[in-house]
């Protein structure tokens, strides 16, 4: 197993962070500093240290959390704001979010200590769909909806095509279902601002086939073994396509 893969799978750091730390000479194997990303190790026999701290592989955890509004998607905040770590204090192992939901967005958040699966969840190349229910100001016409489906130009480039449908209409607003395969910063909000329909309320209700069903705001559950297998099979197939 490559050293950076081992570090990410232990939940110590992400794969990208592991590569940076290795290059900086902060990782050793059996007492010898290694800087080559192709370094192979045997997790059962070799002693790996990060900044002189022994690293051991722990069991993988896969968690679905219903993040409420008013929480940031980080494990700690230097400004003292509530974070998702406050909602999972009873989990003794370190897990980290795969992707983000902004402070004023609630809904489904995936947390794990498995760096490879976190990458598969969050990176657009794996094509995992994220489903949102959005309340927007005013009622968009067909041209606006078609524009969202085709992609919206943002500062960092055009968004990928989205699936968009009207769920219900009110007097001066409506609810939309929007499905995307990427996760640019504040993407849904920025897309709708760009077409003149600012978001009033935003909730992520699904990640792939995983949903909020059975969860209340602030609650979490562990994935079942069958869900884990199905998820890995789904994203693994997308990667090969």
Of residues 180, 182, 174, 181, the one with CA closest to residue 199: 174
Cβ count within 10 A of residue 101: 25
For 66, phi then psi, to 5°, come to -90, 95
For residues 154 and 99, what is the distance between their CA atoms, to the nearest angstrom?
19
Is 74 in contact with 84 (CB distance < 8 Å)?
Answer: yes
102 is catalytic: yes
Q: Which of 42, 102, 114, 116 is catalytic?
A: 102
Cα–Cα distances (Å) from 36 to 16, 29, 132, in that order, read 14, 11, 41
Of residues 43, 18, 19, 46, the one with CA closest to residue 31: 46
Annotated catalytic residues are 102
């Amino acid at each position: 197993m490559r050293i950076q893969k081992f570090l990410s799978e232990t939940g110590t750091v992400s794969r990208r962070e592991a590569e940076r730390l290795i290059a900086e000479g902060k990782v050793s194997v059996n007492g010898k500093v290694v800087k080559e990303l192709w370094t192979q190790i045997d997790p059962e026999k070799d002693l790996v240290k990060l900044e002189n701290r022994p690293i051991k592989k722990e069991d993988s955890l896969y968690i679905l959390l219903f993040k409420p509004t008013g929480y940031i998607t980080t494990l700690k905040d230097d400004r003292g704001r509530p974070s998702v770590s406050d909602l999972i204090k009873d989990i003794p192992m370190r897990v980290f979010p795969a992707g983000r939901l902004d402070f004023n967005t609630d809904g489904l958040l995936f947390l794990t200590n498995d760096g490879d699966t976190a990458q598969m969840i969050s990176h657009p190349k794996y094509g995992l769909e994220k489903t949102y229910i959005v309340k927007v100001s005013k009622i968009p016409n067909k041209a606006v909806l078609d524009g969202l489906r085709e992609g919206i130009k943002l500062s960092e480039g055009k968004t990928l095509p989205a699936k968009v449908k009207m769920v219900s209409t009110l007097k001066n607003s409506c609810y939309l279902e929007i499905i995307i395969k990427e996760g640019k910063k504040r993407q849904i909000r920025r897309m709708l601002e760009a077409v003149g329909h600012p978001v009033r309320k935003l909730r992520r209700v699904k990640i792939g086939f995983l949903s909020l069903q059975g969860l209340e705001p602030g609650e979490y559950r562990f994935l079942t073994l069958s869900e884990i297998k199905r998820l890995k099979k789904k994203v693994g197939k997308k990667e090969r396509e």
